[in-house]
Each structure stands twice: as structure tokens, then as C-alpha cells.
Structure 1
Amino acid sequence: MKKRFMTVLYHTGMIMGSFIMLYPLLWLLGSSLKTNEEYFASPYSLIPTTWAFSNYIEGWGGFARLTFTTFFRNSILIAAVSTLGTVVSCSLAAYGFSRIQFRTRKFWFGAMLLTMCLPSQVLMVPQYLLYNSLGWVGTYLPLMVPSFCGNAFNVFLLMQFMKNIPGEIDEAAVMDGCSRLQLFGRIMLPLVKPAVATVAVLSFMGSWSDFMGTLLYLNKPRMYPVSFALRLFSDESGTNYGPMFAMSVASLVPVLVLFFIFQKSLVEGISTTGVKG
């Protein structure tokens, strides 16, 4: 009896916890199907009394002849290039730090970790001045190029995964005539696929939802990604909540699809990173 009671209590707690975690998403989905009048009348209800599917049609219509097809295309371009740059640069840096012994390795590794201590707000003004002097403001370059310079967190994550791979593999590959680049591309990358998938998904999600970068560097509506285009539903005359919530739901679809596709690799990469033996 006691075991059954604990089982019921456990599952009840898990269901309640899951509902609390999912409530914002369910609220967003329900609000996207409400009219503005119903939203103000019952903002906390999850199920609308009148299903306003027209919010999705109106929201996708966009603004000033710019539909959300344009904004989604911009977001996909920025996120795809940024993800590619992050995966390539971070995997190369992690391979160098974890598998190649060189004299100043510890110094540069420590310097890389120190960059994680810098708040992004501290770097905004210097970065903007630098990109403005290069003529990059008003283009996608400030949102894409930095990804090819690596990221300390992702490098550290990949390093911990690569350290679990036996060094004898490197020795055997070198004896078979593999160069460093061939060893990295043909042997190391296939062995760390879960970690690479983790970095790719996290990078895509971060780039997809980046609002501040767009605010700082883009000044033409036709170049806006989805994360910034949602702001256009609000102006001095008010906010059109229904279409804004509808496009917010639509903006979650690519991220959710990517997460479910790579869910197994993502969980394996996070759970295995840092585990010895």
C-alpha cells in the first residue's frame, strides 16, 4: 500500500510539474487563437471560446508587403550560417586543446575560459564600434562572422567529450598515415557526433532567438529575422496581440522540429560530456 501511494504521489507530482513547465507554451497557443477582445476579457484562460484561426493568416501577411516568409527566410539564413560557423570553429579549437600538446596550451585555454566571465553587455559598445568602422552595420556580417571565431562554452563542451576518446586511436591513425586534418575529419568528428549535435542545436536556438543583435546591427525591415519582426506588431497605436501570438507559435516550430529530430543525440551529448571512463 505504501509503495502504491508513493507511486501515485510521484506521478501526480510529475504531472503537476510538467503542467507548470508547459503552461506558458499552452497559454501562448491558446492566446494565438483568441481575438483581441477575448484576450483582454480572459487573458489567463487556456481554451478560447471563439477560435480565431484568422490570426495566423493575418499574422503571416506581415507588414508593408513583407510577409513572414521573408522574415523566416532571413532567420534560417542567419541561424544556418551561424550554426555552421560555430560547429566548425569550436570543433577545431576543441580538437587542438584536447588532442594536441603545444607549449602555451594552458595559457590560451585559460584565456578562453576567462571570456566566459565577460557579460555580453560589456562587449556591445566595442563590438558595435568595430563593426561600424568595418562597414558591417546594416548587413548580416556582425550576426554571422563572430560564430566562425568560436565560443568558449561550446569549445569546453566538445573538449570534455573528446577527452573521453582513448589516445591510442590517434596513435593508430597516425601509424596508418593519417594527417592531423584527416584524423580530425575522418575519425574524431564521427566519434563525437552527439556532442556536435548538441552544439549545433544550442547554437541554432541561440541564433534563431537573438533579438539584441538584430536591434543593434540591422536597420532595414526586409532584413529582419522573425525574432525582431514580432516587435512590429506593436506601435504607438497599440499591439495586435492575436497575430503576434500566432507568429510567435509559428516561430517555435523550426526549433521544436530540430529539437525532436536531434533529441537522442542532444540528451546523449549533454549527459555524456564530462563523464570519465
Structure 2
Amino acid sequence: MTREQKRTIGTFLRYVLLIAVGIIMVYPLIWMVGASFKTNSEIFSSVGFIPKNPVITGYVKGFAGYEGMTLLHFMANTYKIVLPKVIVTLVSATITAYGFARFDFFGKKFSFAVLMSTLFLPQVVLNVPQYILFNELGWLDSYLPLVVPSILAGDTYFVYMLIQFQRGIPRELEEAAQIDGCSIMKTLWYVLVPMLKPAIVSCGLFQFMWASNDFMGPLIYVNTVAKFPVSIFLRMSMDAEVGFEWNRVLAMSLLAIIPSLVVFFSAQNSFVDGIAAGGVKG
């Protein structure tokens, strides 16, 4: 057997393995699509994804919503949190990372150590003091407790990620910009931000998906049903006393993740570039 034949066989086997693993990982989502058109009895009697007697009651009841508020109302609530949170996260994390990566100031090492230590704190430890703080500020039953911490670069992981990327950018580019008369902020905007685009897109996607799926935050701070995001609305749809209408829950879940899928695939190339570059920087 020639070397070319061995390479061809090896490539073929790798593709077969990758396709098999891909099907295994994607199958639950495919099954979810099919199950949204099944009745409860059929969902629990078959593992196949093609419904025998398709029904659309799950989508009809899902759009009916709750007390006159449709699924779109709760999805709109979700993005009232997600969009501001993503925007302020990218701005605050980029500026904070720029400060740590490019400037020397008193207490920098100590501040960076404190910043990194917050990565090891589980959110459940912070829930009680944060709740007391936001209650004193009168922010309960609003979206402020979910958004304001991101304005202050409270999402440490993204700050750390951008610091590592900026350390891989030659300082000579900034020095050349400063010689041409650029201020600190202009240097950041016109020189660093374009080069940080893959990392910024990656941070934005992660924050978008995490904020969209956040359940505990809105559950703790938001009390009015009309302000609930779709994650809590889905939980409200599960009534343990009368039994779950699983096709309705699955249908609403599918509709709720469509925006996240659209955003992810729209920014897929930059996201992959950011993850690939992150493996060789820092």
C-alpha cells in the first residue's frame, strides 16, 4: 500500500469518525424538533425523531403564552437584558483589559490578583450580599442588577481573555499611532480594537448565550411576571400538578434558541478565529 493510499484511508476514517460523533451530539436537538410535533404518549413511547401523527398544538399553545402575554413578549424581555449586557460587557471588558495589559500603575499586581481571585468564587456565594446591596439601592424587580455589574467589568473571564489577546499584539503598533498624534483612546479604537475583533466577537457570543440562558439571576431579582425572561416563562409552563405538556415546552424551547443560533452562525468565522488564536497567545 502506497503512502498516498494510507493518507486517503486515514482521512476517510477520520471523516467517518467525526461524522459519527457529530450525529451523536446533534441527535438530541434533532429529536427535540421532532418531539415538538408529538403527543405526550408518543414522546415517551418512541426514541425516533419522526412523529407518526404530527400535531402542532405545542406551537399553538406555546404562542398563546400566559395571561395575555405571548411567547414573543417574554422573548422581548430576555433581549432587554441580553443586548445591553452584551454591549456594556464588550466596552467595559475591552477598556479594563487595555489598562491592565498596557499600563503600569500603583497596585496593578494586587488589583490583577484580586481580579483573578474572583474567577474562583462561585456565583452562589455572591448571591446573598449582592441581593442585600441591590435591595438597599432599590433595584429589585428590575433588570439593573443583571446589567449594571457588567458596566463595571464584573465579568472577569472576558477581561482576562482580552488581556491575554492584547499581550500578543506588538507594542510598536501603538507607539507608531502615538507618534502620528493618536490619543490613548484613539489608539485603542483605531489600532487595538480591529486587531481584537475575533476575541471581542468570542466574548460577545459567550455573553449572549450565557445571558440568554440565565435562569437564577432573573429568578432572584425579578418578581413581576410581566418582566420575566423566556427562561423563567419556560419553567412556569411546567405544572407538576396537572402534568407537563412536553410538546409545548419543547416547541417554546426551540423558538427561544433560534435567535442564539442565528447570532452564532452569523459570527461563526470570527468566533472560530478567536478561539484558535486564543490557543497560541498569552
Q: TM-score, normalised by structure 2?
A: 0.93
Q: Residue type matched to 1:248 in 2?
A: S
Partner of 1:172: 176
Partner of 2:143: 140
CA distance change for structure 1 residues 6 and 186 in 2, over 3 Å: closer, same or farther? closer
Partner of 2:52: 49
Please tell me whether residue 272 in structure 1 is matched to residue 254 in structure 2. Answer: no
Q: Distance in 2 between matches of 1:248 and 1:155?
A: 31
Q: Distance in 2 between matches of 1:149 and 1:27?
A: 41
Q: Distance in 2 between matches of 1:119 and 1:158?
A: 22
Asked if the contact 2:165–2:281 (Cα under 8 Å) also holds between the matched residues in 1, the reply is no
Asked if the contact 2:93–2:159 (Cα under 8 Å) also holds between the matched residues in 1, the reply is yes
Question: RMSD of aligned C-alpha atoms?
Answer: 1.6
CA distance change for structure 1 residues 274 and 96 in 2, over 3 Å: closer, same or farther? farther
SS in structure 1 of the partner of residue 88 of structure 2 = helix
Asked if the contact 1:198–1:265 (Cα under 8 Å) also holds between the matched residues in 2, the reply is yes
Please tell me whether residue 257 in structure 1 is matched to residue 262 in structure 2. Answer: yes
Q: Distance in 1 between matches of 2:227 and 2:258?
A: 21
Asked if the contact 1:161–1:274 (Cα under 8 Å) also holds between the matched residues in 2, the reply is no
Corresponding residue to 2:238 among 228, 234, 239: 234
Asked if the contact 1:32–1:246 (Cα under 8 Å) also holds between the matched residues in 2, the reply is yes
1:180-233 residue CA offsets vs partner (Å, 9 max, x unmatched): 111112221122111111111111111000001111111111111111111121
SS in structure 2 of the partner of residue 115 of structure 1 = helix
CA distance change for structure 1 residues 11 and 202 in 2, over 3 Å: closer, same or farther? same
1:135-182 residue CA offsets vs partner (Å, 9 max, x unmatched): 111111111111112121101111111111111111111122211111
Q: Distance in 2 between matches of 1:39 and 1:21?
A: 20
Q: Residue type matched to 1:118 in 2?
A: L
Partner of 2:63: 60
Q: Residue type matched to 2:101 in 1?
A: S
* Displacement of 1:274: 5.2
Q: Residue type matched to 2:103 in 1?
A: I
Partner of 2:83: 80
* Displacement of 1:260: 0.5
* Unaligned segments of structure 1, at least 5 residues: none
* Displacement of 1:35: 1.4
Partner of 2:110: 107
CA distance change for structure 1 residues 78 and 276 in 2, over 3 Å: closer, same or farther? closer
Identity %: 41
Q: When the two structures are aligned, how many residues end up with a matched partner?
A: 276
Q: Distance in 1 between matches of 2:16 and 2:172?
A: 49
Asked if the contact 2:141–2:222 (Cα under 8 Å) also holds between the matched residues in 1, the reply is yes
